[in-house]
Amino acid sequence: MTYIEFLCHTCIQGYEQCLSRHEKDSVKRKFEEEKENLSLQSKKSRSTITLFCIVQGNVNNAFAININKNKTISELKSLIQKEKYNDFTGIDPDQLKLWQVEIPDEHYDKLVNLQLHKNKELLATKKISKYFIKDPVDEHIHIIVSLPETTKTRQELELTELELINKVAELQKLLKKSIYEFNIIVNPKRTKASKWIANIEQVTLKDLKEFIFALYQSPELQKDVATLAFSCNDEKYSPKSDLEFQNMLQLFVSKNSLKFTVFIETSISFSSWTFPRVCWLYKLSEDSDPSLSVFSLFNCGFIDLNDEKSQVIIKHLMTDLNFCFKAIPIGNEASKSQYVCSYLVAIANLFEDKFKICPEKNVSGLNGHGPVDFALIQVQTSRIIGITEVKDKDFQQGVAQNAVQCESALSSSKKKVFGIITDSEKWFFLECSLDNERKPKFKLSKPVVIIYGDEDMENRVKKVLGHIAWLLEEAQKLNELEDKN
């Protein structure tokens, strides 16, 4: 080997040895880097946990969230919102509330009956590691997600929308019809519903009245003395015209409420009653022009007012009437009321505060309502025991009004009330009582006439006062008997 060859060989060996050392260093560095990466990955793997979550009220659909324990609860909310994006429409992450639980996934009853306030709510600013120090237990629910109270999931919204669409379709289908079958109950005394078919675009109140009359022969519907009121699902309705009636029925249809109750009401103002209508109402006569003779005769009793106290009161009454006769001509109903009031004041004083007089007393009953001219009230019981109707000329209408007034006062438990119909000169006395079936019965007396300024005036006044005194005593006895029973 030449010297040059020896030098080349030596250089090559030196280069190979140098290269070998460099490669070893490079391999070592790579090994150290891979070792460090594996260590970091291992640490990261140990920091990542899996949390099983359910949305409150939806216990059958759990979902998993993988997250590093060093992340915050706020970041966990964002991950949950992204995971349930389709369901949480319009809900921002910060609107979610998270609650920590540890419930086995097969314990369905605990999940359904869970009370969130008894569990720990996770605060957005805290790290997950604060709540999950140890790894979460497998096959358990770890997080309950509650939504804002005013929001709904997409599934719930879609269901609500579908329900609304179906309801609208049903209503449209109903409203396209005009003929319906209703179930009606007629009050009073009817409990069984009757089927009534009506065209709600054309039907009238008269049509319904005729239908009810055909079923039950209700006398109040035979003539125009009754109005109809209605009740449906605890709501009250009182249509006054056919249009209002048709609108009411359309409302019932729109609510799919085809069953309702009809109330037959004959209560009108006392002044609206005429004598023929009252005779028909109480089955006294069907004549179109009846007379007062259709009433049974009332033999009104009389008390002799000869004792000293009665004489003092009569003398005082005569003085008042004579003063009135000189100062107030008996020309109209208002002036006549002045005279009548004097009689009633005298009789109230005769019974020493056992009775009081109430002018314009409001009375209401099944067939009538409104103020009466004078009501006589028993002080102890506050019961109406008598009603006075002052008329100017038309005594028939006065009797008609007084009959309905007295029957209205009997709407409570009382069985008898008396009435007085007068123009201050002619006096009629009426007895109104209820039979065993609580139907009203009436009796009417013959008139007692007073001529003011006549020499026999005092005897006539005394007789009228004696009749009223007898009526009050009879009312007292009856009230005492009713109280005992």
Report the candidate in 394, 454, 447 with the shortest Cα–Cα distance to residue 271: 394
pLDDT band at 228 (very low <50, low <70, confident <90, very high): confident
pLDDT of residue 485: 59
Record the tokens describing residue 401, joined without a space.
């009004």
Lowest mean pLDDT among 134-138, 437-441, 476-480: 476-480
Q: What is the pLDDT of residues 93-126, one digit of tens each?
A: 999 999 999 998 888 788 887 888 778 899 999 9
- Could you count the other beta carbons within 10 Å of the beta carbon of residue 312? 12
Record the tokens describing residue 107, joined without a space.
């314990």
pLDDT of residue 61: 85
pLDDT of residue 410: 83
Contact 325, 317 (CB under 8 A): no
pLDDT of residue 411: 58
Q: Cα dist. 134→9, 72, 137, 139 in Å?
A: 65, 16, 9, 15
Rounded average pLDDT over 130-151: 86
Rounded average pLDDT over 212-229: 73
Q: What is the pLDDT of residues 49-94, one digit of tens each?
A: 999 999 988 888 899 999 999 999 999 999 999 988 888 878 889 9
d(CA 297, CA 299): 6
Strand segments, DSSP code E, in 37-161 are 48-55, 58-68, 97-104, 120-121, 140-146
Report the candidate in 355, 364, 356, 429 with the shortest Cα–Cα distance to residue 398: 429
Q: Are strands 426-434 and 448-449 parallel, antiparallel or unpaired?
A: antiparallel
Q: What is the pLDDT of residues 4-49, one digit of tens each?
A: 565 556 655 655 565 455 555 665 666 566 656 555 555 555 689 9
Of 468 and 56, the structure prediction assigns the larger pLDDT to 468
pLDDT at residue 173 greater than cutoff 90: no
d(CA 418, CA 406): 7
pLDDT of residue 33: 63
pLDDT of residue 107: 82
d(CA 154, CA 31): 53
pLDDT band at 172 (very low <50, low <70, confident <90, very high): low
d(CA 144, CA 116): 8
pLDDT at residue 465 greater than cutoff 90: yes
Strand segments, DSSP code E, in 20-96 are 48-55, 58-68
pLDDT of residue 80: 92
Rounded average pLDDT over 389-406: 93
Lowest mean pLDDT among 130-134, 163-167, 443-447, 453-457: 163-167
Sorted by where each begins, the domain ranges of the chain are: 48-152, 177-266, 275-484
Of 170 and 309, the structure prediction assigns the larger pLDDT to 309
pLDDT of residue 177: 72
Q: What is the pLDDT of residues 267-315, one digit of tens each?
A: 788 988 999 989 988 889 888 899 999 999 999 999 999 999 999 999 9
pLDDT at residue 252 greater than cutoff 60: yes
Q: How many CA atoms are closer than 13 Å to the CA of 111, on its beta-carbon side? A: 23
pLDDT of residue 112: 81
pTM of the model: 0.52
Dihedral angle of Cα 427, 470, 302, 317, to the nearest 10 degrees: -60
CATH number of 177-266: 3.10.20.90
Q: Does domain 48-152 have CATH number 3.10.20.90?
A: yes
Rounded average pLDDT over 207-228: 76
Strand segments, DSSP code E, in 266-327 are 268-269, 296-297
CATH number of 275-484: 3.90.1570
- The SS3 call for residue 436 is coil
Fold match, 48-152 / 177-266? yes
Record the tokens describing residue 269, joined without a space.
């103002």
Of 480 and 292, the structure prediction assigns the larger pLDDT to 292
Contact 67, 75 (CB under 8 A): yes
d(CA 131, CA 126): 8
pLDDT of residue 457: 94
pLDDT band at 234 (very low <50, low <70, confident <90, very high): confident
Q: Which residue has the tokens 């309905």?
A: 404
- Could you count the other beta carbons within 10 Å of the beta carbon of residue 58? 15
pLDDT of residue 459: 94
Lowest mean pLDDT among 68-77, 115-124, 149-158, 241-250: 149-158
pLDDT band at 359 (very low <50, low <70, confident <90, very high): very high
pLDDT of residue 67: 93
- By CB atoms closer than 10 A (0-12, 13-18, 19+), residue 407 is buried
pLDDT of residue 318: 95
Mean pLDDT for the chain overall: 84
Contact 249, 203 (CB under 8 A): yes
